[in-house]
């Protein structure tokens, strides 16, 4: 078993590359590149660098990059059975490089030779301090539920208009359509470009831009209206000692009539198919739930986080047919599985 050395090509130009990385690339034989679509590769090719890239795999598997990464790792491990191998990737090997993560999971003799991440230059380009909190997200796995609108958000691989359009639609679930965003190209290089625009315009460009990422500034607290944490913040302020006098006199029991009232109104809205009222009453019930958990937390009984932990574990445990490949494709099969799980839960609870 030989060593696979993973080298970071840095964010852009040869001038940004550490000397030890440059020397390792010059001496590497064989040298494999995840992609040759990187500015530094053109510079090194002019110096006579020889390599094999995996770009053809991307062309063959345009919609399935997981297969590309799996194939790359398989090839590298195969090569390492007879000789040492150098594998170069854009940026830093440990920043958003799925093929490297997969390689580390499957092969024991992997050395990482640091390259420069694009992040430092990105922060400088948009003049933000990462200590304020940021998210680094991949456009291919972007999901609105995981976007933290109160933090600086960086979305990688917004390389063409189609991908930018998908990112835009996802972000519009969380941000106003005219929220200012910036497209950043080639951060830290002589070709660096920062274009500010409203969110709804971010996909209005042509061509392929391999070094393009998106920056989304955080929303102010009162604008983070799609976030559960914002509602928690408001409830915390209302129930604070200096907050609302009425709620601070309530107990879990005294709030029961209000919980029943809001639940009754929710049921009525659902039965009437009154969509607007249905949505509003759901919110009112949620507020009552947060009032209850807030009182429980004040009394030292349990916290909202413990409620979430309990229900998340229960939901996960009771749906093995969704998460674990257990066969239950009809409502009847689901019910049998459900009853079996609940019976086992009761047995364990009785034992404790």
Q: For residue 25, what are its two tokens?
A: 């690339």
Checking if the pLDDT of 248 tops 90, the result is yes
Band (pLDDT 50/70/90 cuts) for residue 26 is confident
**Are 170 and 142 within 8 A, CB to CB?**
yes
Amino acid 28: pLDDT: 86
290 Cβ contact list (under 8 Å, min separation 6): 231, 232, 235, 304
Q: For residue 29, what are its two tokens?
A: 């034989």
Between 196 and 190, the higher pLDDT residue: 196
Q: How far is CA 150 from the centre of its chain?
A: 14
Band (pLDDT 50/70/90 cuts) for residue 253 is very high
163 Cβ contact list (under 8 Å, min separation 6): 139, 157
**Domain chopping of the chain, boundaries:** 4-116, 120-222, 228-317
Provide the mean pLDDT of the chain.
Answer: 93
Q: What is the DSSP string of 9-45?
A: -BSS-GGGS-HHHHHHHHH-SSEEES-S-SHHHHHHH
Band (pLDDT 50/70/90 cuts) for residue 18 is confident
Amino acid 219: pLDDT: 96
Name the class of domain 120-222.
alpha beta
Q: Is the peptide bond before 30 cis (omega within 30 degrees of 0)?
A: yes
Amino acid 131: pLDDT: 94
Q: What is the rounded CA–CA span in Å between residue 201 and residue 172?
A: 12
Band (pLDDT 50/70/90 cuts) for residue 114 is confident
In terms of CATH architecture, what is 228-317?
Orthogonal Bundle (1.10)
Q: Tell me the pLDDT tens digit for each residue of 274-301.
A: 999 999 999 999 999 999 999 999 999 9
Highest mean pLDDT among 17-31, 33-47, 328-342: 328-342
Amino acid 118: pLDDT: 87
In terms of CATH architecture, what is 4-116?
3-Layer(aba) Sandwich (3.40)
Choose the weakest-confidence range: 50-54, 60-64, 306-310, 320-324: 60-64
Q: How far is CA 304 from the centre of its chain?
A: 23
Q: Tell me the pLDDT tens digit for each residue of 133-189.
A: 999 999 989 999 999 999 999 999 899 999 999 999 999 999 999 999 999 998 988
Amino acid 239: pLDDT: 93
Q: Tell me the pLDDT tens digit for each residue of 50-97.
A: 999 999 988 887 667 889 999 999 999 999 999 999 999 988 999 889
Q: What is the rounded CA–CA span in Å between residue 267 and residue 342?
A: 27
pTM: 0.81
């Amino acid at each position: 078993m030989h060593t696979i050395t993973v080298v970071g090509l840095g964010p852009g130009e040869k001038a940004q590359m550490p000397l030890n990385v440059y020397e390792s690339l010059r001496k590497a034989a064989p040298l494999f590149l995840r992609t040759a679509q990187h500015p530094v590769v053109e510079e090194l090719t002019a110096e006579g660098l020889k390599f094999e890239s995996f770009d053809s795999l991307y062309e063959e598997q345009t919609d399935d990059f997981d297969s590309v990464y799996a194939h790359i790792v398989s090839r590298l491990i195969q090569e390492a059975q007879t000789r040492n191998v150098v594998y170069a990737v854009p940026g830093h090997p440990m920043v958003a490089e799925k093929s490297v993560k997969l390689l580390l999971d499957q092969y024991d003799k992997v050395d990482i030779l640091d390259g420069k991440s694009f992040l430092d230059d990105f922060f400088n380009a948009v003049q933000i301090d990462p200590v304020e909190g940021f998210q680094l997200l991949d456009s291919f796995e972007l999901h609105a539920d995981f976007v933290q609108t109160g933090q600086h958000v960086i979305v990688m691989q917004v390389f063409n208009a189609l991908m930018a359009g998908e990112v835009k639609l996802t972000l519009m679930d969380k941000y106003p359509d005219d929220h200012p965003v910036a497209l950043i190209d080639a951060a830290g290089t002589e070709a660096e470009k920062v274009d500010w625009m409203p969110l709804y315009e971010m996909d209005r460009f042509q061509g392929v831009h391999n070094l393009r990422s998106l920056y989304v500034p955080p929303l102010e607290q009162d604008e983070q209206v799609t976030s559960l944490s914002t509602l928690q913040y408001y409830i915390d302020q209302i129930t604070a000692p200096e907050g609302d006098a009425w709620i601070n006199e309530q107990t879990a029991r005294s709030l029961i009539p209000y919980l029943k009232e809001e639940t009754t109104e929710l049921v009525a809205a659902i039965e009437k198919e009154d969509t607007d009222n249905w949505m509003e009453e759901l919110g009112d019930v949620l507020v009552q739930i947060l009032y209850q958990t807030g009182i429980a937390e004040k009394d030292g009984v349990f916290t909202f986080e413990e409620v979430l932990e309990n229900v998340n574990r229960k939901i996960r445990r009771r749906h093995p047919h969704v998460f674990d490949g257990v066969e239950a494709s009809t409502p009847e099969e689901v019910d049998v599985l459900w009853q079996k799980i609940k019976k086992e839960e009761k047995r364990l609870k009785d034992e404790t």
